[in-house]
Structure 1
Amino acid sequence: MTQLDRRQLLGGLGAAGASLLTAGGARAQAAAPIRIAVLADFSGPYRDTSGPTAVACVQQAVEDSGLAARGIAVEVIQGDHQNKPDVAMAMSRQWIDQRGVDMICEVNNSSIALALAGLVQEKNKVQMNSGALSAAITGERCSANTIHWTADTWMLANSVGQATVKAGGDSWFLITADYAFGHQMERDLTRFVGTAGGRIVGGTRFPFPGTADFSSFLLQAQSSRAKVVGLLMAGGDMINCIKQAREFGVTRRARLVGIPMFVTDIHSMGLEVAQGLTVCETFYWDMNDRTRAFLERVKPKTPANYPNQEHAGTYSGALHYLKAVADLGAERARASGLEVVQRMKAMPTDDDCFGPGRVREDGRKIHPAHLFEVKAPGESKGAWDYYKLVSSVGAEDAFRPIGEGGCPLVRG
């Protein structure tokens, strides 16, 4: 392990010490509850797309699981990884070795998720990742103890890249976060833009985390004369870059395409800035009666920040994990994370966020993906009414075919 800054590590472990809730609504007296740790960004650029709302969604999953009525206690803890793999790994080891954590979820950083996959396999625990996006997590670097919920770079690049080229955006300049997620997204997007008949005419990478001024990168994009400027970043970085792009006049000549983008980003930017953007999400709170019912249950826990697809995936994955715990029994679930993951793959999924679905052999949870256009201010009926549905892709077509990822867990 690399040498840690002591203040960073203590700060992260201090956050990890904030115990939240058991399935019974108070600290259980049982000797060994099921322990879920939410590993997320609570202070950096991904705070709103991850962070406290992810914790609220796990709390909701605990309540909806019904485990309290069966006498199974569930404890939820949280920790801020600060987007630093060394901090995240030290915290995760401490959780597992000293606090008896059984499942680590959310994660929302690809470098951390890939490293964590090895740790949970070594310790026979579970990673239920909903926020990190690299398709390698269920590809060549898949793990028998990791499940990948919500979205990934292959799905996003396929959906947004091809649709944008077909709409006339056949030349691209890419501004990319310089870490595992950005690198994988570059590769996947380059492939799908090319498949659709477009081309990447240039690109640049920015340091992550810690970049606030995107002016030099945007000037390079302007000079390229590309029809599309692809922003391969998320959260606070995406919001800052889009605002600065409009200030610099980039949008007078080029179309901005953010991959990924979330409803939480749109809320932070406002419709005046975000109108007309194309967004791919696998969940939107106003899709149907079930998604609206989920929102009404979780909204009291997070009234100022509606759940996006990442938050919904954290809920959905945690709920399915707890269903597997109920099916196996708490003692067996605590004894073997591998057995829990195998049961999660064997059981069909169903919840208010995504409806019926399944977890594939490679650990990829599949469900439909949706392309939305952001509404103009005059089209919105109120707060968080931001999306118009453009098209949907079915679950079996939205994600990379299982045989193409190179996951060694896939037979044949």
Structure 2
Amino acid sequence: MIPNHESHKLLSDMKEQQDQNEKALIYLRRRLMHNNSSLLSSNDSPSLPYINSAQRTINDEVRSLRNVCLQSGGQDSNILAQYNDLEHRLRYYEYYPWMKDYPEPLKQYRYRPIYPIESTTNKLTLANNEKERLQNEVNDMQRKFQKLDSRTRQLELSLATSGILDPKSNKNNHIYSSSTIDLYQPKNSLNQTSARQIYTNSDNDPFDQRRYFLQSSLPLLDNGMTLRGNQPVNHPNSNMNKVLDPLDPQTYDAVAGFVILFDFITNFHPTIEKCRLITCLHHAKSGLGEPSHLETFNCELYINQISGEQMGIALLATRQPVPSCPPQQALSIVIEVQTTNKQNPNEPLRTNAWTKLPLFDHKSRLLSVRWKVPLRSLPIFHNESFPNINKLP
């Protein structure tokens, strides 16, 4: 692209060339007006301007510059338009020579400052510093919650071993029924356990930082279950006790279903190494549905600092969804507990205890509360009513 001041310079050069040509013409006229003798006797040797007949015109120069721009890959429409405009003006001056004495003045364009490109190094440094600060805050909060969680679990286990946590009390009961669940498969009754009661707890403590594992969804019973009507179930003498702050009955969405959260199992025998829960939906007429196996958990040994008693605990911290569950009073869930001993860690898991939980009240509303549930010894009586199950060891 040729700037405007360069085009003006070209026009000035053309004007100077025109002046020299006019001087040459005047000199030739004088030679014609005087006789040859006077011209030959003259000692003056005027210097004639050098006229190059092979010199290219300015239009040719502009055209060649435009071609060079195109050949070098220039595709800017603004630059090409300026080349065309300059060539058109020069051609116009050739057609109208009197325009050469009046070249167009230079145009003053608005000043546009070129702002320096801001370096991204400072921004990256600030972002990295902010990220590091937030990460440190998160780590500090996690350490605080872990300390609080360890103290909370220590207090719960101390209360459980000292007898303060009564199975018939309405405090610290932990199983939630809210919006999803999983299945259970019945197992053959194996070794009889002792009369020791094992409590399955689940809690949604806002300060609890244990990781809740989401298990696979609990399969439903057959599709004809919803057409068989509701089976009346007695909940007053159940094997569970509500807490002091039960959740108010909410509108139940049968499509979304609900979820059960399991917290921990305590009062295991010290020789038990691993445990696993198997859940299954149960209907009074349809029977047991398809079972669902939860993952296997390791048991930890706990020693009461006051009494010195040893027992095993299993931190479950897991939840199981039950989507698309119809609200029926006769619908319940059966939970089986399987364990292995430390003496034979490679042997398969064997059934050790079981329990049964109702899901809906007499108005077919979801029982959204916290429970403390005692597990029952074998054999499994999944068809028994809740008052009869409450009498089992």
TM over 0.5: no
Q: TM-score, normalising length from structure 1?
A: 0.19
Per the normalisation by structure 2, the TM-score is 0.20
Larger helix percent? 1
- Tell which has more relative contact order, 1 or 2 (C-alpha 8 A, sep 6+): 2
